[in-house]
Amino acid sequence: MTTVRLPRLFLLPSQWLLGATVLAPLLVIAIYSLLTRGAYGGVTGPTTLGSYGRVFQPIYLYILWRSIWVAALSTVLCLILAFPLAFYIARAARNRTLLLNLVMLPFWTSFLVRTYAWMFLLRDTGLLNTTLQRLGLIHVPIPLLFNVGAVVLGLVYGYLPFMILPLYATLEKLDPSLLEAALDLGATPASAIWRVAVPLSRPGILAGCALVFIPCLGAYLTPDLMGGGKTVMIGNLVQNQFTNARDWPFGAALSLVFLGLSGLVAVGLQRRGDQLL
């Protein structure tokens, strides 16, 4: 009996912590989503499913769809950039710890500050545009900031480490002799990577994709700052309901639908990952 109970006891603190900090607020949000908007913020009775009805109006579905699209594009770009880098670090003969620390270095400063740094680089009078103008390559500044491209750039930059680290973890365990065998059997280096390394690192790819896609889907700081408030993503929509619009029930309903969606993505990727393992 004690052998079963002891591990359970060890779980208790974290279970309570999760219950108090995740499930309880979630329950509050669920209750709010069923109530009616108070005239000046807050919620009042009666209970209604009206907020959920509104979530599925075309305009909000369109915003949801565009958020998915932006998040998916950012995830794919992260993957394309991260795979060669993770492969290189995993195969590096020396300095692996140093390289990994470099990947994590940006976390030492706040994301907000780093986003502002990008804005200084990209704006009309920013480093990039002024340099190009001085070199005579362009005559008028190119609009680099305040568009969807800038939002994707900001997201890729922000979440790249979350793709690199799980990829590194799987690639590092990959037996190098498998690649050697592929080469010995006549595979070109490219096809050895494509047909051996990539399939074997699927779990890392899926974990990385989930870690990048889900936060990108909920991002609101980057679309606000890098997109100049001209493109709304679901995160901005939810935030606006709790501030300017003072429509808490609708904001709660939006965030629950969005949470369910992210949950489905996470579970889907996890399932595929388990099957492949």
Partner 1 sequence: MNVYNWDNYVAHETVADFEKLHQCQVRYGIYASAEEMLAKVISGNSGWDVVFPSNSFIGPMRELGLLLQLQKDRLPNLSNLETRFQAPEWDRTLDWCVPYMHSATGILYSRTAPIAPRAWADLWSDAYRRRVTMLDDPAEVFGACLKRLGRSVNAVDENTLQAARDLAIQQKPFLRAYLSEQVRDQIAAGDVLAAQMWAQVAQVVIDAAPQLAFSFPAEGFALYADNICILQESRHQELAYEWVNYLLEPKVAATIAEEISGATANAQARALLPERLRHNPVLYPSDEVLARGEWFRPLPAKAQQLRDRYWTEIKSA
Return residues touching partner 1 (CB under 8 A).
37, 39-42, 59-60, 62-63, 66, 123-125, 143, 145-146, 224-225, 227-232, 236-237, 240-241, 243-247
Torsional sign, CA 100, 211, 213, 17: negative
Smallest distance, partner 1 to C-beta of residue 112, A: 12
In Å, how far from its chain's centre is CA 249?
Answer: 25
The number of angstroms, rounded, from the C-alpha of 85 to the middle of its chain's C-alpha atoms is: 19
Residue 4 CA neighbour count, 13 Å, CB half: 1
d(CA 37, CA 43): 5
Q: To the nearest whole angstrom, how small is the minimum distance from the Cβ of residue 248 to partner 1?
A: 9
Q: Which one, 51 or 75, has the nearer CB to partner 1?
A: 51
Shortest gap between Cβ of 132 and partner 1 (angstroms)?
15
Candidates 218, 67, 224, 88; CA nearest to 145 is 224
CB-wise, 155 or 232, nearer to partner 1?
Answer: 232
When the beta carbons of 199 and 229 are compared against partner 1, the nearer one is 229
The rounded distance, in Å, linking the Cα atoms of 198 and 80 is 12
Q: How far is the CB of 151 from partner 1 (least distance, A)?
A: 12
CB 89 within 8 A of CB 98: no
Helix, strand, coil content of the chain in percent (nearest 5) = 75, 0, 20
- Residue with smaller CB distance to partner 1, 247 or 252: 247
Using CA atoms, how far apart are residues 186 and 136, in angstroms rounded to an integer? 49
Pairing of strands 36-37, 43-44: antiparallel
Q: Which is nearer to partner 1, 187 or 245 (CB)?
A: 245
Closer residue to partner 1, CB minimum distance, 78 or 254: 254
Least separation in angstroms between residue 80's CB and partner 1 is 28
Least gap, CB of 62 to partner 1 (angstroms): 7
